[in-house]
Amino acid sequence: QKEVEQNSGPLSVPEGAIASLNCTYSDRGSQSFFWYRQYSGKSPELIMSIYSNGDKEDGRFTAQLNKASQYVSLLIRDSQPSDSATYLCAVGPRRGGYQKVTFGIGTKLQVIP
Amino acid sequence: NAGVTQTPKFQVLKTGQSMTLQCAQDMNHNSMYWYRQDPGMGLRLIYYSASEGTTDKGEVPNGYNVSRLNKREFSLRLESAAPSQTSVYFCASSDGPGVTGELFFGEGSRLTVL
């Protein structure tokens, strides 16, 4: 069983729509959760981190965490063609703990103009 | 600020050759990491260094060695390259502890082993 699971996609959404990206994880002791964006041929870039159950909003991005269901998601409102990229979910231990995170394979998002 | 700088950006090796990937960060971060990224496999941790003077194995350390030269620099060495080591390698750093998953990545090094 993979530790962090994501659908590889591609997920295609029209411009202006809401894109919903999902991730599940297997380790119930996980305490830190991250979303990275990776453009083709480029390096990953951190866009959201979330540590508590519920929603966290930053501009057009909202991260949602449900530890009971071991589920984390990323919503992108008013999707733009520039949002087309692969989105990596990463899961880590408690703050200050063993310094390692586990990445999913990523979901490729295509925003259609 | 340069952030995390990796060299070289591209390299082609023959099986059995050795090489070192260099990484330097100018953010005064404590922790540094080496990942490899392969299609369908995601990012996998090779080695990491939680602080200057310490190194630890990650998920896929076989065939690699690392050196944390100082707080800024963390190198990855392939002693005898194999075709299975063809990959894109990323160096990353983080402030740590407390922000362990908030990684800053270098631009990557694309390695091909023939």
Structure confidence at residue B98 (pLDDT)? 46
Query: Per the CB < 8 Å rule, is B101 touching A104?
Result: no
Average pLDDT over residues A4-19: 95
Confidence class for position A2, pLDDT limits 50, 70, 90: low
Residue B53 has pLDDT above 80, yes or no: yes
Cα separation, B8 vs B80, whole angstroms: 18
Instruction: List b or e across B42-54, with b for residues whose CB sees 16 or more CB atoms inside 10 angstroms.
Output: bbbbbbbbbeeee
Rounded (5°) CA angle A60-A61-A66? 145
Query: Per the CB < 8 Å rule, is B45 touching A100?
Result: yes
Q: In terms of Cα–Cα distance, which of B52, B49, B51, B111 is closest to B78?
A: B111
Strand partners, B57: B47
Structure confidence at residue B106 (pLDDT)? 98
Residue B4 has pLDDT above 80, yes or no: yes
Strand partners, B78: B19, B64
Structure tokens at A4: 């962090």
Structure confidence at residue A98 (pLDDT)? 58
Structural contact between residues A88 and A101, judged by C-beta atoms closer than 8 angstroms: no
Structural contact between residues A103 and B61, judged by C-beta atoms closer than 8 angstroms: no
Structure confidence at residue A22 (pLDDT)? 97
Residue B80 has pLDDT above 50, yes or no: yes
Quick: pLDDT tens for A27-62: 888 888 999 999 999 999 999 999 999 999 999 999
Residues in chain A whose Cβ is within 8 Å of chain B: 4, 8, 32-34, 36, 42-46, 49, 88, 90-93, 95-97, 99-101, 103-106
Contacts of B31 in chain A (CB under 8 A): 99
Q: Which one of A4, A88, A92 has the shortest CB-CB distance to B100?
A: A92
Through-space distance between the first and last CA atoms of chain A, rounded to whole angstroms: 37
Cα separation, A76 vs A60, whole angstroms: 6
Q: Which one of B42, B50, B90 has the shortest CB-CB distance to A99?
A: B50
Residue A80 has pLDDT above 60, yes or no: yes
Q: Which residue of A has its CA nearest to B99?
A: A95
Query: Per the CB < 8 Å rule, is A32 touching B101?
Result: yes
The segment with the largest mean pLDDT, out of A71-80, A92-101, B36-45, B97-106, is A71-80
Confidence class for position B40, pLDDT limits 50, 70, 90: confident
Lowest mean pLDDT among A51-55, A71-75, A94-98: A94-98
Cα separation, B31 vs A85, whole angstroms: 27
Structure tokens at B63: 């065939």
Task: Centre a 10 Å sphere on the Cβ of residue A18 and count the other Cβ atoms it contains.
Answer: 12
Structure confidence at residue A29 (pLDDT)? 85
Strands A32-38 and A45-50: antiparallel
Structural contact between residues A66 and B65, judged by C-beta atoms closer than 8 angstroms: no
Structure confidence at residue B33 (pLDDT)? 92
Cα separation, A84 vs A109, whole angstroms: 5
Q: Which one of B31, B40, B104 has the shortest CB-CB distance to A99?
A: B31
